[in-house]
Structures are given as C-alpha cells and as structure tokens.
C-alpha cells in the first residue's frame, strides 16, 4: 500500500544510501519568471537520477522478506542503474534487459555496477516483455520502473525532503512519464500539505499519461518520440493513474524545442547538466505554462542528469535555434567572382558569425548562372535575426530559413 507511512519507511531504508540532494533557491529563474523558484536537484543523486530511490526501496523490502534469489528489470537508462546499484549493495544477482539499440556507454555503465545485461528487442516494450518472461522462467523478482508500491514509495521520499525544507510551497512541478515519481510525491505531498498544487509535465511526444488524466482512464499512444527518453512511455498504467487522479491538479505538455531550450538554459545559467526528462519542469516555467499567481513559491524536480553525449549535442543545437542564437539560411547568389565575398561582407556588417557554409552551383533546382549558399550563423537573439533578414532583403537576396 502506498501511503505516507510507507514513504517514511522508505526514507529510513534510504538513509545513508541515497543522497539528500540539494533543494535550493534559484535566483535567476525566480527573477525571470516572477515566481520564487526552488530546484530539487536529483540530477546530483547517486547514479545520476531519482530512480535509485525506488529501486533501492523495492529491493530492500525483498531482502527483508528473505527473497535473495535475484532481480530482473527492463530499462535502457536510469532504472537500470538504480536496480544494478541496489542489487550490488545487497549482494544479490541482477539481470537487466536492454533494447539492442541502447548506447554502449549505458550498457557498460550497468555492467560496471555488477549486473548482467541482456540485449533484446528493438525497443523498450520488446525488452520489457522479454524481461517479464525471463523473470518467471528463472524464478527471479521483477522490479518494475513505476507500477509498484515500494518503488513509488521510494520516489515519494523526494517530497519528504522538499517539504522538510520548504513546507509552505504553493506548487510542486514534477516530470511525468509512467507516473511513479509523481504518484509517490503526490501521496506524500497531499497528506503533509493538501493546499500545495501538484503539476505534472509531460512531453508532447509521449502524452499517454496526459491523455489518460484528461479522460479519467488509462490510454496508450500508438508511438512515442521525444528527446526526453526518461519519460518516453507509450502505455499509461492504471495503477499510477489512480494515484495521479487522486493527487495531481493538472498535467501540461511541453514540446521538443522547449525541452531543448530548458536543457541549454540550465547548462548555461544554472551550471547544471540535466537530461531532457529532468528539464521538462523548467521548460514549462520558462515558456510561461505554469499559470500560477505571480510570487508563488514553486518547487521543481530536476529528475535526472544522465544524458548521452550525442543527444546532448543535438539538444544544444536545438536549444540554440529555439533561443534565436543560431540561424540556418539557404541563399541564392549570382554565380560570379566576388558574389560570395559580397554576401559574407554583408553578414559581417551586421555582426553575424558564420560557423558553417556550403556553396553549390550544380543543383538541378538552380537556374543557369545561379548558386545556392547554405550558411549557419551564430546570432544574438530575435532582434539580431530580424536585422539579418532585413539587410538581406534590402540587398535583393532571395533566401529561406532552414530548421
């Protein structure tokens, strides 16, 4: 049963194992938004994410009941590391089933924690189906990433820590995927202070729980596509949905560009490396989606910081475009000596820094005597980009923006 007592018991088990992560005032975000913002930095947790809390509490309860035959989990990310760490702590075997497409660094990270890794399936759902069958066949306990009372109780310890430090919060903002994190936080929060609004934030590309919340019953989406892989859940769980309907005030969505901008903002302004799923609350904040009275005291959970280097590069790129600091143009020039120099000189006059340029005079789409230049520019914001558009138009250039 998930209740405040079970969450407090989980906190006792986690004492000295999970970090009590900082819950600190964020002056830049507060000034920007007009709210009083506090960040719960689970990106600084052991294994880099909150998932350790739930996995450790689940495995601890199994060990307390004398079940030491080993555990199985399916995950391509944070849950895998949480289970592997916890199994190693209790000196029991762990088998993690990961999709075949899982990056090598993530696979190695789980192996380094002592777990056996099985690569199976092209996506999480196929890995999950295999893992549940494997656990039954080998008589091992399956540790679900969210639809489990002990797992949710472990995640709920985050709320205990937040409210011990700031009991009079007006709202708590939590990432939503499968719903285990917000279920645990919601149950604890609404008992301790039922006046606190609980707001879930999901990705537009993984909207199953948002749709389920709005319609009052569990729904699935046909596909999932988001850079916030930690909340990329296709099928909503009736178990977590019940707790969400009981405790959550609303669930909002953020798009991919907004998530990317939030990751970049945290990296630049807060000096925090946060993965896409962990940044959705900030995405909602900086894009004015929280819709709370100005001056509200808000706690935002940064759920994790484990981000693949390749994905980080992509997110930074998207974030720069979204924040109007990068601009990509395709420009038609007359193919004659000096034309390219005239074009680049014009860009230099408005302070646009060229970071990449490509010149093509052979495309079949071009008229005879024309060339096309694809150029990537570093820019200084919305006004600067408008200045670039204006000067190109004034000098007769035909161009289009690339995204």
Return the active site residues: 51, 303
| Alpha carbon distance 167, 32 (integer Å) | 23
Question: Given the structure tokens 């008992």, which residue do they identify?
Answer: 191
Beta bridge partners of 250: 199
Cα 351 to chain centroid, rounded: 34
Whether 280 and 201 have beta carbons less than 8 Å apart is answered as yes
Q: What is d(CA 384, CA 28) in angstroms, rounded to the nearest whole number?
A: 23
**Assigned token pair, 355:** 């970071």
Q: Which of 22, 122, 116 is nearest to 71 (CA)?
A: 116
How far does CA 379 lie from the centroid of its chain? 27
Tokens of 302: 């940064």
Q: How many Å apart are CA 163 and CA 189, to the nearest integer?
A: 8
> DSSP class of residue 255?
-
Q: Find, among 6, 381, 36, the residue nearest to 183 by Cα.
A: 6
* Residue 387 burial (C-beta neighbours within 10 Å; 0-12, 13-18, 19+): middle
Alpha helices by DSSP H, listed for 122-168, are: 124-137, 149-165
- DSSP assignments along 63-126, one per residue: HHTT--S-EEEE-SSHHHHHHHHHHHHHT--EEEEE-TTS-HHHHHHHHHTT-EEEE-SSSHHH
Q: Which two tokens stand for residue 350?
A: 């408005």
Q: How many CA atoms lie within 13 A of 126 on its CB side?
A: 10
Please choose, from the candidates 213, 234, 279, 243, the residue with its C-alpha nearest in 3D space to the C-alpha of residue 153: 243
């Amino acid at each position: 049963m998930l209740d405040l007592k079970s969450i407090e018991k989980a906190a006792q088990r986690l004492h000295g194992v999970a970090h009590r992560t900082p819950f600190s005032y964020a002056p830049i975000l507060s000034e920007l938004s007009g709210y009083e913002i506090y960040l719960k930095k689970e990106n600084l947790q052991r294994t880099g994410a909150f998932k350790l809390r739930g996995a450790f509490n689940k495995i601890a309860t199994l060990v307390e009941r004398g079940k030491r035959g080993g555990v199985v989990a399916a995950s391509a990310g944070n849950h895998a590391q949480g289970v592997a760490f916890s199994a190693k702590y209790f000196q029991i075997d762990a088998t993690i089933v990961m999709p075949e497409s899982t990056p090598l660094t993530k696979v190695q990270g789980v192996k380094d924690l002592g777990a056996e890794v099985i690569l199976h399936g092209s996506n999480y759902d196929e890995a999950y189906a295999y893992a549940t069958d494997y656990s039954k066949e080998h008589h091992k306990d399956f540790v679900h990433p969210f639809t489990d009372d002990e797992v949710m109780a472990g995640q709920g310890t985050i709320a205990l820590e937040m409210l011990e430090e700031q009991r009079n919060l007006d709202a708590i903002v939590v990432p939503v995927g499968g719903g285990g994190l917000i279920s645990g936080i919601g149950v604890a929060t609404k008992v301790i202070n039922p006046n606190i609004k609980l707001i879930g934030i999901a990705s537009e590309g993984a909207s199953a729980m948002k749709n389920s919340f709005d319609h009052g019953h569990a729904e699935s989406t046909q596909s999932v596509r988001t850079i916030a892989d930690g909340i990329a859940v296709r099928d909503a769980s009736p178990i977590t949905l019940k707790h969400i309907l009981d405790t959550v005030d609303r669930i909002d969505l953020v798009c991919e560009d907004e998530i990317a901008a939030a990751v970049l903002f945290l990296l630049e302004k807060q000096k925090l490396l946060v993965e896409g799923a962990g940044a959705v609350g900030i995405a909602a904040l900086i894009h004015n989606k929280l819709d709370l009275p100005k001056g509200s005291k808000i706690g935002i959970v940064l759920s994790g910081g484990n981000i693949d280097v390749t994905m980080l590069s992509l997110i930074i790129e998207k974030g720069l475009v979204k924040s109007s600091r990068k601009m990509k143009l395709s420009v038609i020039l007359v193919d004659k000596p000096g034309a390219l120099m005239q074009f680049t000189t014009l860009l230099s006059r408005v302070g646009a820094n060229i970071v990449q340029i490509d010149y093509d005079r052979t495309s079949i789409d071009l008229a005879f005597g024309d060339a096309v230049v694809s150029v990537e520019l570093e820019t200084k914001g919305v006004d600067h980009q408008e200045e670039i558009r204006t000067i190109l138009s004034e000098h007769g250039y035909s161009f289009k923006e690339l995204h």
